[in-house]
Amino acid sequence: MKFLGIDLGWSSGASGLCCLQWQGEYLWVLDWQRKLETSDILAWIDQWAPRNEPALVAVDAPTLIPNSTGMRLCDRLTHRYYGRYDAGCYPANLNRPFAKRTVQFGLSLESRGFNHAPTLIPQQGGRYQIEVYPHPATVQLFQLDRIIKYKKGKLEDRCQELEKLRHHLRTTLPILEPPLRYNPQTADNI
């Protein structure tokens, strides 16, 4: 099964893309890159997860927003349980400037057969889309006291924080279950 990760540029800027495939006992990195246009992102998804193949698309953006104002329950729960780690999330509602783009992206995934999956049954094939929260995930995976602050601040500080994140990615993910593997020739890019 393939797992596609999309760090969607909510309003502007490129989106980060990663394709993983579970083969045997390992999770292999098949591809990662950046795309600017939504049409290019969707073409990349079509390339790596053709319609007849099971796949999960994990999107770092709110692709399902039922509320016109306020916060979604998942946003409130993220703040409740991860706020102390500085790992809260932006409140999503249909009046936010990013809502049109992110919801449309979710609908585009639905048209490709990726159903919203608030719960998943392990090892059951299908085509699903889920929303992910990278800051809480890194807190859990890397057992951090607070998030790695690589998005804001002075360039020098952000570079140091990105190096911390890179270190965790390269040292922790290969020892988790399933272990992450990648082509040694491209290891320096991780």
Q: Check: CB of residue 187 under 8 Å from CB of residue 36.
A: no
What pLDDT does residue 100 have?
94
Q: Which two tokens stand for residue 58?
A: 């994990």
Q: What is the pLDDT of residues 24-34, one digit of tens each?
A: 999 999 999 99
**Rounded average pLDDT over 140-145:** 96
Beta strands across the sheet bearing 15-23:
115-116, 127-131, 55-59, 2-7, 15-23, 26-35, 180-181
Q: Residue 145 above 90 pLDDT?
A: yes
Quickly state the pLDDT bin for 120 (edges 50, 70, 90): confident
What pLDDT does residue 152 have?
85
Q: Around 118, how many Cα atoms within 13 Å sit in the side-chain half-sphere?
A: 5
Query: What is the value of pTM for the model shown?
Result: 0.91
Domain ranges of the chain: 2-134
Which position has the higher pLDDT, 106 or 10? 106
Percent of all residues in the chain with a pLDDT value above 90, rounded to a whole number: 84
Q: What is the pLDDT of residues 92-117, one digit of tens each?
A: 999 999 999 999 999 999 999 999 98
